[in-house]
Amino acid sequence: MTSAAPPVLAIEGDSAWIVIIAVSLVTLPAVLFSRRLIDRPGGLSSGLLLSLPLVVPLVAALAFTKAVLPVVGVLRPVDEAFLQEAQSLVHVLWTRMPGGGLMPYTLWDAAGAWMLWIGLSVSTFMLLRRALGALIVKRLITRCRPLEVGDDGHVLMMVENLARKMGLALTPRVLVMPEGFSGAFAVGAKNPRILISRDLIEGLEDNELRAILAHELAHIEAHDIGVTFAAGVLRDLVAWNPVGHLAYRRLMADREMEADRRAAAATGDPLSVASSLVRACELRRLIPVRRRRLALAFMGRGGGVKHRVGALLALADGGASLRTATPAPYLVAAVLVAALGLHTGSRIASQDQGAFAIVWGSTDSPSEGFWSPKERRIRQATEGRPNKMKKTEAFHFPELMGGVPVKRKHIPQWLRAAKKISRRAGLTHEFQQWHFRPTAMLTGPFSVYVLSPDAI
Cβ burial of 185 (10 Å; 0-12, 13-18, 19+) is: buried
129: Cα separation from own chain's centroid: 20
The pLDDT value recorded for residue 236 is 95
Note the pLDDT tens digit of each residue in 356-379: 666 665 555 444 577 777 654 444
Note the pLDDT tens digit of each residue in 5-61: 666 776 666 678 888 999 999 999 999 999 888 877 778 888 899 999 999 999 998
144 vs 160: CA distance, rounded Å: 20
Q: What angle do CA 403, 406, 412 make, to 5 degrees?
A: 130
Among positive and negative, which fits the CA dihedral 163, 164, 170, 176?
Answer: positive
By residue count, the chain amounts to 456
All structural domains of the chain with their residue ranges: 1-111+326-354+361-369, 117-325
The CATH architecture to which 117-325 belongs is: 2-Layer Sandwich (3.30)
Q: In what order do the strands lie in the sheet with 193-196?
A: 145-146, 173-176, 193-196, 184-187
Q: Over the range 103-116, which residues count as b (16 or more CB within 10 Å of their CB) and which as e? A: bbbbbbeeeeeebe
Of the candidates 108, 217, 243, 212, the residue with the CA atom closest to the CA atom of residue 160: 217
Question: Contact, 221 vs 43, CB < 8 A?
Answer: yes
Q: How many CB atoms lie within 10 A of CB 71?
A: 20
pTM: 0.75
3-state SS of the chain?
A: CCCCCCCEEEEECCEHHHHHHHHHHHHHHHHHHHHHHHCCCCCHHHHHHHHHHHHHHHHHHHHHCCECCCCEEEEEECCHHHHHHCCCEEEEEEEECCCCEEEEEEEEEEECHHHHHHHHHHHHHHHHHHHHHHHHHHHHHHHCEECCCCCCHHHHHHHHHHHHHCCCCCCCEEEECCCCCCCEEEECCCCCEEEECHHHHHHCCHHHHHHHHHHHHHHHHCCHHHHHHHHHHHHHHCCCCHHHHHHHHHHHHHHHHHHHHHHHHHHCCHHHHHHHHHHHHHHHCCCCHHHHCCCCCHHHCCCCHHHHHHHHHHHHCCCCCCCCCCHHHHHHHHHHHHHHHHHHHHHHHCHHHCEEEEEECCCCCCCCCCECCEEEEEEEEECCEEEEEEEEEEEECCCCCCCCCEEHHHHHHHHHHHHHHHHHCCCCCEEEEEEEEEEEEEECCEEEEEEECCCC
pLDDT tens per residue across all 456 residues of the chain: 444 566 677 666 667 888 899 999 999 999 999 988 887 777 888 889 999 999 999 999 888 877 776 666 777 777 766 666 655 666 677 777 666 678 787 766 666 667 778 888 999 999 999 999 889 889 989 999 988 777 778 899 999 999 999 888 888 999 999 887 888 889 988 889 999 988 899 889 999 999 999 999 999 999 999 999 999 999 999 999 999 999 999 999 989 988 998 899 899 899 999 999 988 888 877 766 545 444 444 444 555 788 888 888 888 887 665 666 688 889 999 999 999 999 998 887 775 555 666 666 555 544 457 777 765 444 444 445 544 444 444 455 555 656 678 888 888 888 887 777 777 766 666 676 766 665 544 445 556 666 665 544
Question: Contact, 210 vs 159, CB < 8 A?
Answer: no
93 vs 354: CA distance, rounded Å: 12
Radius of gyration of the chain (CA): 33
The pLDDT value recorded for residue 397 is 55
